């Protein structure tokens, strides 16, 4: 009898060296606030695409210990509007080559995503989104219930459940990746390029001179900065309050959870906005599940039990086979949500401070695309065309990019 391979045994080994623990220097051309996925990707592309390496990434905790370590790693680009298609599809193309670019295994697995429709309105909205995606060159199809069952045999497509599955959109190129490997891969490349990655260094204030910020105050001393790039996700409002810049952000706990390790049973990703749950199965075998945010504003990285209880009820109805799975862990991150469920990227009232925030429940998938476009924004001092529609000014002009349909429970 052969002994079974322990879960995770096939995961790749890490290289000996990841990054060097840097001491903060007195001054940098660019200071990036926040060492999550977005800050690290921005650092990487500043070096790679623009040759800018006199850069520090300041992280108040440990590297990628915020939402980057807490997300459920879903990657897709099937958003409704052209503006979103632009940035998310750019990101997806970068994901497709990221392992080579980083020289690091990120376990990007393009297993497809089903977004289920349960009502007639869901069906109409979904078909509309499929057509919009096709016009933008994004792979998308509409599947009826029988085809849904072919893609994912464990979904209950019978008519006798509370909200029967009427069909689904399918994006075959969607997938998952290993989020911590992604962060470490970006950090390693940035470090190789000479960028300082400084952990346990919290930005506590800004030194300003008229319309410019001249530096940041930190728990490890003052650091002068030519340009400041904010990548602080759920804590962006705390930083903007120090600068006196208002932004329409609300920080909420967002929870996720995993089961114990199971045999591979779930071949794809399934999301349902209507019954409020989404599920994939991680490489090691855990079922990874999540839903929408807790309603109240919260900075506690802790959510309420009734929220996950509700999402488990939905999961078990959709996947009867999960009924005997055990919950292993649950956790929460702090996500910065905007009124139109689209990010805020671009200029601020300060000439040399650039803003990247508001990715809410869905910014992991954007990591390489945002890093690429934000690095370009910082390097040239103006918004890259892919992020230009996402400026703070859209709340005044009214040019919102309303992605509530494609981004509420689905991340």
Ligand X SMILES: Cc1cc2nc3c(=O)[nH]c(=O)nc-3n(C[C@H](O)[C@H](O)[C@H](O)COP(=O)(O)OP(=O)(O)OC[C@H]3O[C@@H](n4cnc5c(N)ncnc54)[C@H](O)[C@@H]3O)c2cc1C
Residues that bind ligand X (CB under 6 A): 33-39, 58-61, 64-68, 70-74, 202-203, 231-235, 239, 254-256, 290, 333, 335, 359, 361-365, 411
Using CB under 8 A, which of 14, 21, 244, 299 touches other proteins? 299
Question: Closer to other proteins at the Cβ: 136 or 255?
Answer: 255
**Residue 302 interacting entry, from other proteins, ligand X, none, C-beta within 5 to 8 Å by type:** other proteins
Shortest reach from residue 237's CB to other proteins, in Å: 4
Shortest reach from residue 276's CB to ligand X, in Å: 14
**Residue 361 interacting entry, from other proteins, ligand X, none, C-beta within 5 to 8 Å by type:** ligand X
Alpha-carbon separation of residue 258 from 5, 54, 155, 182, 383 (angstroms):
21, 40, 18, 20, 38
Question: Closer to ligand X at the Cβ: 157 or 408?
Answer: 408
Which residues are within 8 A (CB) of 223 and not within 5 positions of it... i.e. 6 or more apart?
24, 25, 26, 27, 28, 31, 56, 58, 215, 216
What is the distance between the alpha carbons of residues 404 and 411, in angstroms, rounded to a whole number? 11
Q: How crowded is the C-beta side of 192, counted as CA atoms within 13 Å?
A: 13
Question: Closer to other proteins at the Cβ: 225 or 239?
Answer: 239
Using CB under 8 A, which of 36, 39, 86, 298 touches other proteins? 298
Shortest reach from residue 251's CB to other proteins, in Å: 6
**Burial (Cβ within 10 Å: 0-12, 13-18, ≥19) of residue 362:** buried
Please give the residue whose beta carbon sits closest to ligand X in the complex. 36
What the block records as the tokens of 121 is: 């309105």
Shortest reach from residue 293's CB to other proteins, in Å: 11
Using CB under 8 A, which of 159, 210, 300, 326 touches other proteins? 300
Task: Note whether 150 binds other proteins by CB under 8 A.
Answer: no
Specify the stretch interacting with other proteins by CB under 8 A; choose among 81-89, 258-266, 392-400, 402-410: 392-400
Question: Closer to other proteins at the Cβ: 106 or 335?
Answer: 335
**CB neighbours of residue 220 within 10 Å:** 14
Task: Note whether 251 binds other proteins by CB under 8 A.
Answer: yes
What is the distance between the alpha carbons of residues 181 and 189, in angstroms, rounded to a whole number? 12
Task: Note whether 399 binds other proteins by CB under 8 A.
Answer: no
Specify the stretch interacting with other proteins by CB under 8 A; choose among 135-143, 148-156, 249-257, 276-284: 249-257
Question: Closer to ligand X at the Cβ: 91 or 157?
Answer: 91
Site for other proteins in 303-362 (CB under 8 A): 304-306, 339
Question: Closer to other proteins at the Cβ: 295 or 323?
Answer: 295
Question: Closer to ligand X at the Cβ: 298 or 391?
Answer: 298
**Residue 241 interacting entry, from ligand X, other proteins, none, C-beta within 5 to 8 Å by type:** other proteins
Shortest reach from residue 177's CB to ligand X, in Å: 10
Task: Note whether 247 binds other proteins by CB under 8 A.
Answer: yes
Shortest reach from residue 58's CB to other proteins, in Å: 18
Shortest reach from residue 242's CB to ligand X, in Å: 9
Question: Closer to ligand X at the Cβ: 231 or 387?
Answer: 231
**Residue 205 interacting entry, from ligand X, other proteins, none, C-beta within 5 to 8 Å by type:** none
Shortest reach from residue 295's CB to other proteins, in Å: 4
What the block records as the tokens of 48 is: 């790679």
Binding residues (CB under 8 A) for other proteins: these are: 235, 237-238, 241, 246-251, 295-300, 302, 304-306, 339, 395-398
């Amino acid at each position: 009898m052969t002994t079974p391979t322990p879960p995770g045994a096939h995961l790749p080994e890490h290289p000996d060296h990841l990054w060097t623990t840097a001491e903060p220097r007195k001054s940098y051309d660019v200071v990036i606030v926040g060492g999550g996925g977005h800050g690290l990707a921005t650092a990487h592309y500043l070096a790679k695409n623009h040759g800018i390496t006199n850069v520090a990434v300041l992280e108040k905790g440990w590297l990628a210990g915020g939402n980057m370590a807490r997300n459920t790693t879903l990657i897709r680009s099937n958003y409704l509007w052209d503006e979103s298609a632009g940035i998310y599809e750019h990101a997806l193309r970068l994901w497709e080559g990221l392992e080579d670019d980083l020289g690091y295994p990120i376990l990007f697995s393009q297993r497809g995503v089903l977004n289920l429709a349960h009502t007639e309105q869901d069906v109409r909205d979904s078909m509309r989104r499929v057509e919009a995606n096709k016009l933008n060159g994004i792979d998308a199809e509409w599947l009826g219930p029988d085809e849904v069952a072919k893609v994912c045999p464990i979904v209950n497509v019978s008519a006798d459940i509370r909200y029967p599955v009427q069909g689904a959109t399918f994006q075959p190129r969607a997938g998952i990746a290993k989020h911590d490997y992604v962060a470490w891969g970006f950090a390693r490349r940035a470090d190789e390029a000479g960028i300082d990655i400084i952990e346990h260094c919290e930005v506590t204030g800004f030194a300003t001179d008229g319309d410019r910020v001249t530096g940041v105050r930190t728990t490890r001393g003052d650091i002068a900065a030519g340009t400041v790039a904010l990548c602080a996700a759920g804590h962006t409002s705390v930083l903007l309050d120090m600068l006196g810049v208002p932004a329409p952000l609300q920080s909420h706990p967002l929870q996720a959870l995993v089961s114990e390790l199971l045999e591979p049973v779930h071949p794809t990703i399934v999301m349902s906005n209507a019954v409020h749950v989404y599920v994939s199965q991680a490489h090691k075998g855990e079922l990874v599940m999540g839903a929408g945010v807790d309603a109240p504003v919260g900075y506690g990285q802790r959510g309420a039990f009734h929220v996950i209880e509700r999402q488990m009820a939905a999961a078990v109805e959709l996947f009867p086979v999960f009924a005997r799975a055990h919950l292993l862990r649950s956790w929460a991150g702090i996500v910065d949500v905007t009124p139109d469920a689209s990010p805020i990227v671009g200029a601020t009232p300060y000439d040399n401070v650039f803003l990247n925030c508001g990715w809410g429940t869905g910014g992991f998938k954007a990591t390489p695309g945002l890093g690429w476009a934000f690095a370009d924004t910082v390097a040239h001092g103006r918004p890259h065309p892919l992020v230009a529609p996402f400026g703070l000014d859209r709340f005044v002009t009214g040019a919102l990019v309303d992605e509530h349909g494609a981004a509420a429970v689905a991340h």
